Amino acid sequence: MNVSGTMWFMVQTGWTAQRWTAVFIEQAEMFRKAVVEADPAAQVPTRPGWTVQDLVIHLGRFLETSTPYLRTGSRTALRPPPPQAGLSPLEYLDLQITAAAEILTAVPGNRPVWTFSPAAPDLAWVWHRRIAHETVLRRFDAQTVVRGVVATDADLCADGIDEVLTTIVAAQLDGDVPNPVSGTATVRPTDVPESWLISLTEGEAPEVRAAAPGEEGDAQVTGEAELVYFWLWNRMNLKEMSGDRRVLDVLQVGRGH
């Protein structure tokens, strides 16, 4: 299915490339601290089958393959660069974190560039946002290993919820196999003002808008923003959800990620 041509919509506001860059730098520092404390061979509870070393290499590789879009301004998808050889996993990670911080800081959010989701504008800030939230998720994964998970700010979680619903769901549905699910869901965190209604139509791009007061969908998701955010990424359990399980499964994008 091709969901191109979707009108982009964003519920969450108040975020800028500079703010996402600050989040990345903060979360990358916490990630590095956690992985240094952990045994590289330790299993990652939130990612079955992964070791801490796998997690380190994954984040480094994610940064290495994401930042070229910001550096080059490419308007088309790029072939991933070959992995760098001769470095330890931590050396590789440090190199990529340093390079990412430099390019994220230097590139304005309104620079035209190819992005990964058909529901997102082709602007650099989409990468600022994705890199920030990927690092939040990996920081969480790493901290579960050392049993030192810190709370994630509710406003940051609300922005992450918005990214999932307005960008990531469409990216995951943009494939050769048509989306077989139709239905709606409301997502209402209890500790932030934002709320969302996402509408799924078989074979079409999802539509997202702010949920009206009292509006319900075929499925409902609620709870503190942090719980909703990490539930969407399959990191936490969430009891405050109900309705069509097929719709809920589409929203929970973190399986295997």
Domain parsing of the chain, residue ranges: 17-145, 177-251
CB-hemisphere CA count at 13 Å for 149? Answer: 18
89 neighbors 60 (Cβ within 8 angstroms): yes
Q: Are strands 219-223 and 207-210 parallel, antiparallel or unpaired?
A: unpaired
**What's the confidence (pLDDT) of residue 10?**
60
**Domain spanning 177-251: CATH 3.30.1050.10:** yes
**What's the confidence (pLDDT) of residue 217?**
97
Distance, in Å, from the CA atom of 41 to the CA atom of 54, rounded to the nearest integer, reads: 9
Residues in contact with 182: Cβ distance below 8 Å, sequence separation at least 6, in sequence order: 200, 201, 202
Q: Give yes or no for residue 1 having a pLDDT over 70.
A: no
* pLDDT above 70 coverage of the chain, percent: 94
More confident call, 14 vs 24: 24
**What's the confidence (pLDDT) of residue 7?**
44
Each residue of 150-192: pLDDT tens digit?
999 999 999 999 999 999 999 999 877 678 899 999 999 999 9
150: left (phi over 0), alpha (psi -120 to 50) or beta: beta
Report the candidate in 93, 104, 84 with the shortest Cα–Cα distance to residue 33. 93
Each residue of 80-101: pLDDT tens digit?
988 888 999 999 999 999 999 9
Each residue of 19-66: pLDDT tens digit?
999 999 999 999 999 999 999 999 999 999 999 999 999 999 999 999
CB-hemisphere CA count at 13 Å for 180? Answer: 3
Q: Cα–chain-centroid distance for residue 5? A: 22
* pLDDT above 90 coverage of the chain, percent: 86
Q: Dig out the tokens for 124 from the structure.
A: 């650099």
Give CA separation, 45 vs 52, 104, 112, 145, 151, in Å. 10, 30, 38, 7, 17
User: Which of 9-13, 96-100, 195-199, 233-237 is least confident?
Assistant: 9-13
Residues in contact with 55: Cβ distance below 8 Å, sequence separation at least 6, in sequence order: 35, 44, 47, 138, 141, 142
How many of the other CB atoms lie within 10 Å of CB of 232?
A: 25
Q: Give yes or no for residue 120 having a pLDDT over 60.
A: yes
Task: Kindly report whether the global pTM for this prediction surpasses the value 0.85.
Answer: yes
